[in-house]
Chain A
Amino acid sequence: MSEQDTLEVRTVEISYFDGTKRTAEIVDREVPYPDGKLIVSRTDPQGIITHANQSFIDMSGYSEEELIGTNHYILRHPDMPAIAFKGLWDTIDQGTKWHGYVKNLRKDGAYYWVKATVIPNIRNGQLVGYTSVRRKPSRSKIEESEALYKTLMAEE
């Protein structure tokens, strides 16, 4: 956990872009990103998870059965501003690679930070889905991102 973690628990209603909502218990506790691992997932063009590797299962706290067939936004932490994800979708919609720092929400309400890269999967000229690979971010990048996202959230 990070030094700033309070372990405070709050109940938050999270609204997704497609109009669905869910109520989640959020715990202010960081789960450190494991050294040397990559979290890998793939989705279809609508963002529905079609593949999750073991690191993804371990870090998200969900089982493989729970992840497959679910929208990737299940990981969205309420501290992440919507505009950050708009940037992601605008970039990959153009067929290009997106990099960013993301605070993810675990099933147990705790969080973990990642450096994420998302690329479109093109087969015979057609978009068939997206691959997302997450790796360990540096503490300084996490701090920069936390400050930036707080500012952006205040503006939303």
Chain B
Amino acid sequence: MTFNLTVSPDFAPDHISGWYFFNTWLQRKLDVGIHLELYDNFEAQRNDIRADKFDMIYANPYDASMLVREMGFQAIARPASKSDETVIAVNAESLFQTVEDLKPGSRVATTDDPDVHTMGMIMLESADLDKSNTDIKQHSSYVVVAKNLLNGDADAGFFLKEAYDELSELIRSKMRVLVSSEISVVHHSLLVGPRMVEHIPAIQTALLTMQDDDKGKGVLESMDIKHWEPMDSEQTEFMIDLIDTLIE
């Protein structure tokens, strides 16, 4: 039987090959067939997740909530010291110095990344801004969000902090961070579905010792992950409860 693995499409494009290396490495460790399928947008991936196509998912916190509470997945590991933070940036020349300087009618550039968009909207609340009094445009990537800020087509843009930090220095030099979230307890996790449950002990052992050999270490580096940390069900439930408080 071949299992199916997918990865939340919010990682930097530089790490695509890393996930293919990871899949090859994991298949060898478990001695099972795993097919990796990547997506370039959240909606298409979510439809396939709901159609029960996957057995293992490296998911963003919002999808983790659906996977655990509705589809019986278990979170088994998380990347060490890597949390999902959101940046609101403006054009470097912009007159906006704080979030509260943004006014109703502001043009906001975002992506379909659910956790970044939600956190971005939460950080706009202190300026009395919400979807009813802002002009929100969804774009296909963070690079396009940055272009909209640079061209003056948006007043503020939402970025996954990790993706913002990986934009070219030239692009970043033309933008300015208005606010950056510091939540630290919301992060991606690797989840395993009901069909693959018997492999969980072997997967956990393989992941938690991955950094101990050169091959595993190399794969981790290509994914930009230091090492994996275990996640138990209570840690997962805690993160899901927290996400629930952020969703209207």
**Measuring CB to CB, which residues of chain A are less than 8 angstroms from any residue of chain B?**
33, 35-38, 40, 42, 51, 53-55, 97, 115, 117-119, 121, 123, 131-133, 135-141
Contact = CB atoms under 8 A, between A and B. Distances in A.
B125 A36 contact: no
Chain B: number of interface residues, binned into ranges? 20 to 34
Nearest to A55: B182
B182 A97 contact: no
Of B122, B241, B244, B245, most buried by chain A (CB within 10 Å of CB) is B245
A42 B238 contact: yes
Nearest to A98: B245
Contacts, number: 61
B239 to A, nearest CB: 10
B241 A121 contact: yes
Given A36-B181, A36-B182, A37-B183, A121 B126 contact: no
B80 interface: no
B241 A131 contact: yes
Contact of A37 (B127, B182, B246): B182
Contacts of A97: 244-245
A131 B126 CA distance: 22
Contacts of B246: 117, 133
A119 B69 CA distance: 16
B167 interface: no
Contact of B237 (A115, A123, A139): A123
